Structure 1
Amino acid sequence: MRNLSRRTFVAGAGATVGAATAGGLLAPAAGAVAGSAAEDAGPASRAVRNGDLITVTAENPRYIDLISGFNPRWEARPKGVRLPRTTAQVVQAVQDAADRRQRLTVRGGGHCYEDFVYNPEVEVVVDMNLMDAVGYDPGRRAFEVEAGATLLKVYQTLYEGWGVTVPGGVCYAVGVGGHVQGGGYGNLSRKHGLVVDHLYAIEVVTLDADGRARAVVATREPGDPHRDLWWAHTGGGGGNFGVVTRYWFRSPDATGSNPSDLLPKPPAEVLIAIPSWSWENITQRGFTSMVRHYGAWFEQNSAPDSVYNGLTSWLFLNHKVSGSLVLLLQVNGDVPQAEQRANDFVQGLSDALGVPHQGEVVRLPWLKAVKYIGTMDATQTNPQLRAGHKSAYMRRGFPENQIAAIWKHLTRTDYANPRGGVAVISFGGRINSVAPGATALPQRDAIFKLLYQTYWTAPADDAPNTAWLQDFYREVYGDTGGVPVSNRVTDGCYINYADRDLSDPQQNTSNVPWSTLYYKDNYPRLQRIKQQYDPKDFFRHRQSIRLPRGTR
């Protein structure tokens, strides 16, 4: 979800397009193995399998649409983009690239915040967009989702078909492939946990020590020999171990074989409020009081069994030139006194700020609310906007010095971008009922997740916007080396809000490496799994899991 203001509230099967000729860079190598899925495990694997692996090269007009993600800052010039329709074709794409020692990356929805997918070193992009089936697999008693599906397709298919959902993100066009691997959270997570808390199995194409690509299915079953590979995908981040082709979802406490009982049921209705407060009337004292109040409320109401775990909020602390501070609030409409809870929450912020709010609470059916929130903001749906992002987890409300730093950078007069700011996003609830080592995502006692962000249009404006964001972030965490190290108040960073600056010793002077900021004590285990399933370090990017020392 991006910065909000009140006003913003392929080709046919069998076509190989622009492919290199026999003996060329993308043609099958001598001795290449096409491979097949490890097992036929559900309806998605029984889709149409005939036809060649689609390859789009620079000679084809589609190429220019396939070489950058949602953020146009990141662009590649690969020898080709490969668009598989089946797991066997993913195996083929990985095998071909490995045989030629070509640098390969994987695109899901294209929303990666850094250049992990698109950069000058990339030679082959595997674009998962055409593998987007969603259905029920009776053999596994789980819902099968191909890795190219977008979040909105997943929500709509699961809900309309079976009345269930997964507690994923709010940006409708985000691909499930990368979203799940990084942990995955959204407006139902305080009530139902993270997406990975409902992940039963994955299918992932790996490359072994002999350079052979194969598809592996890994489950959370205690006796599964590949259980570690499943665990690595419960918050270990994308682009580390292989190409995920499919996920299966079933809640760990679900029983029986009725699909409608195997995943969380969303509320029939939710209350949505988008109040705003005019910057014209905001003082530093009032701002400090409001941010302090917001933190104190979630300190008191973020336990797993809190009666407020059906309340989720995004407080957008926008730069002063935007004109307003904005809140996005969602409350479960099925609970008693839902309207009162929503109104009391908003009024508490207004009272603390000393400024009246504009905007009212509305009641919407759940799926309509999902579509509304996911599409209402022009910033999050504008493919021309360049962007920068940073993250932090918080265990407590903001200390006074951090609030002062936030105020300073939101009111700077030498920076006048209305799309700059920080989103303070509620966390906790059921998320915190899971042990830090039970999944690869270790931040399990936080009350907030923070998203620092700014957007702009012209490449010439890259430097001033990134400099403002770096200055902002570095000063907020000035006491801990410019980054949110794990302590009583802060608890590291979110891999799905990837940030290259965490690896830069000029930006991160804490002596705490980026890997610890993302993964804490889970990182050594991730390294061991990397060694087992990607011993050649074939799947890599600037912040991918590193092989243990002495293994390369």
Structure 2
Amino acid sequence: MNKISTIMRPTILTASLGLLIISHVNGQSLKDLVSQIGYNVSIVLPGQPGYANATKPFNLRYDYKPVAVAFPVTSHEVSEVVQLGLKSNHTVVARSGGHSYIANGLGGKNDAIVIDLRNMKSITVDDQRNTAVVQTGNLLGDILTTLNEHDRALPHGTCPYVGIGGHAGYGGYGFTSRMWGLTIDRITSIEVVLANGEITTASETSNKDLFWAMRGAAGSFGIATAITFSTFPAPPETTIFSYSWHLPAAEAASVLTVFQNFTLTGDIPPQLAGELVITKADIRGNVNLGYAGGWYAPIAQLNATLAPFFAQVPAPISTSFDSGDYLHSAINLAGGSLQTISPEGTDTFYAKSLMTPSSQPMSLKSIQALMEVVSTVGFDTPGWWFFQVEQVGGKYSAINALKASETAFVHRDSLFVIQFYSSSPGNTPPYPQTGFNLLNASVDAIVSNNRPGWNYGAYANYLDDELPDWSYRYYGSNYQRLEGVKRIYDPNDFFSLPLGVGRRH
């Protein structure tokens, strides 16, 4: 018998319609237009209770003030709000979990209507077809927990508070991605609200070009309200491991070089993925390194798999292994809990990224230059920071198995995604110039010490609005096609984002 279960999450936030007049179009105030919405969509306006919380960004470097925040409960209500934006001459942006590094979910400016999807939280799991229909107000912690109840799983990141809309719209890397691919690679169809308010479906058989674009650049083309995923059996045995070193810069560079060669040429099963984590040491000129990752197979095979790497590096000063079922591993990676009920904290930070090509690995000179910056400039930089060299590629990587043209996500040749992340002292504003300096110097150390024209990329889920050539670094050879799809589905750039396809300069 085909067993289908649907989980409806409770409504988290509602707000009554406001009386504040914000703008006028053809003699009608935004408030008047709001009153014409036939579905009684909850909307909060500036000055009303709930507005401050509804517009609070994850990254406090930003302080955008949207003209309204709507909280629809159906795709039809999303459509109504899109049409409100059209009538009132305001751009509209969707907010799934609010984790955008540059506050894209608040519109990137002060004249947007935000569609906050937090009340659209149903998850329908079909145990016969092994699919899940997930509304885009869901956070990763809720999705993982629900799928686990059916012994199913998806590839995605570790933070339980990340919203599936943005995560699945631009990539979606996690420690199972070498084995299962990115989150976008598991999408079979998407319910989308277009710039004219039309509700449609994008798949391999319907709006195929839109389906292609939504898997890697989604925010520029429509509002995804529900995504159908093909799921995997949850691995019965998993181990989350970690190793650590405290090394002089030259030795740390040697470890990263070995790590690169191990990932590039080693006979690494797809069940392994991890990241080399670089952090501040307590001695100038030194570097803290950690290798943390997931092994999604019996633990007896782990040591043999890692042996070629550890045979070439100093003995770690600490090790940790935590074995259990798949849910246990996810709880570990989430920091001990997958719950999303308690309020999430905020940060004040800047982040950059590099996606290094397998065909052009980082040179030894660039790795040495990075560790020199980390051990000196990094040591002198106040606040906390970390760099993560995440294993994306290798012989058996499911990410690398697809061609660059198969989805809008172009970086299928990548060996690493490197995330550079630096917080302000106390994690609060203002953000210091020293943080920008550290990250820019670190990225420049790598880029400038590789061959001229080194074809590196950047990861769109680690958005960097300081990146000057973002269209190429995020989308590469796919950008021209994306512009063509944009002209079809959103020719007036209604879904305008700071780093969005078709952005008007």
Tell me the distance in 2 between the aligned counterparts of 1:190 and 1:78: 39
2:135 corresponds to 1:146:
yes
Which AA in structure 1 matches 2:354? A
Aligned equivalent of 1:364: 324
Tell me the distance in 2 between the aligned counterparts of 1:19 and 1:274: 55
* Kept in 1: contact 2:130–2:232 (CA 8 A): no
Helix, strand or coil at the partner of 1:113: coil
CA shift digits 1:217-252 (9 cap, x unpaired): 11122xx2x11111111112x4201211110112xx
2:95 corresponds to 1:131:
no
Q: TM-score, normalised by structure 2?
A: 0.86
Q: 1:116 to 1:486 in 2, by over 3 A?
A: farther
Aligned equivalent of 2:30: 25
Aligned equivalent of 2:4: none
Counterpart of 1:332 (choices 296, 311, 321) is 296
2:152 corresponds to 1:164:
yes
Aligned equivalent of 2:80: 92
2:202 corresponds to 1:218:
yes
* Kept in 2: contact 1:269–1:363 (CA 8 A): yes
Deviation at 1:311, TM superposition (A): 0.6
Deviation at 1:179, TM superposition (A): 0.5
* Kept in 2: contact 1:425–1:449 (CA 8 A): yes
Aligned equivalent of 1:510: none
* Kept in 2: contact 1:18–1:56 (CA 8 A): yes
Q: TM-score, normalised by structure 1?
A: 0.79
Helix, strand or coil at the partner of 1:233: helix
Structure 2 residues without counterparts, runs of 5 or longer: 1-9, 23-27, 338-342
Which AA in structure 2 matches 1:126? I
Tell me the distance in 2 between the aligned counterparts of 1:485 and 1:182: 25
What RMSD over aligned residues (CA atoms) do the two structures have, in Å?
3.0
Deviation at 1:427, TM superposition (A): 0.6
Aligned equivalent of 2:211: 230
Counterpart of 1:518 (choices 441, 455, 474) is 474
Q: Where do 1:392-431 residues align within 5 Å?
A: 392-396=354-358, 397-412=361-376, 415-417=380-382, 419-428=384-393, 429-431=397-399
2:233 corresponds to 1:269:
no
* Kept in 2: contact 1:29–1:99 (CA 8 A): no
Aligned equivalent of 2:6: none
Identity %: 24
Tell me the distance in 1 between the aligned counterparts of 2:331 and 2:423: 23
Aligned equivalent of 1:287: 252
Deviation at 1:388, TM superposition (A): 0.9
CA shift digits 1:322-378 (9 cap, x unpaired): 97322212111337x324236636xx44x544353212322122112102211259x
* Kept in 2: contact 1:526–1:545 (CA 8 A): yes
Q: 1:141 to 1:167 in 2, by over 3 A?
A: closer
* Kept in 2: contact 1:331–1:342 (CA 8 A): no
Helix, strand or coil at the partner of 1:234: helix
Deviation at 1:496, TM superposition (A): 1.1
Which AA in structure 2 matches 1:341? A
Tell me the distance in 2 between the aligned counterparts of 1:496 and 1:128: 19
Tell me the distance in 2 between the aligned counterparts of 1:418 and 1:170: 23
Tell me the distance in 1 between the aligned counterparts of 2:488 and 2:304: 50
Tell me the distance in 1 between the aligned counterparts of 2:14 and 2:215: 34
Tell me the distance in 2 between the aligned counterparts of 1:433 and 1:26: 51
Higher strand residue share: 2
Structure 1 residues without counterparts, runs of 5 or longer: 1-9, 35-50, 251-262, 504-512
Which AA in structure 1 matches 2:345? P
When the two structures are aligned, how many residues end up with a matched partner? Answer: 475
Q: 1:139 to 1:296 in 2, by over 3 A?
A: closer
2:222 corresponds to 1:246:
no
Tell me the distance in 2 between the aligned counterparts of 1:526 and 1:132: 29
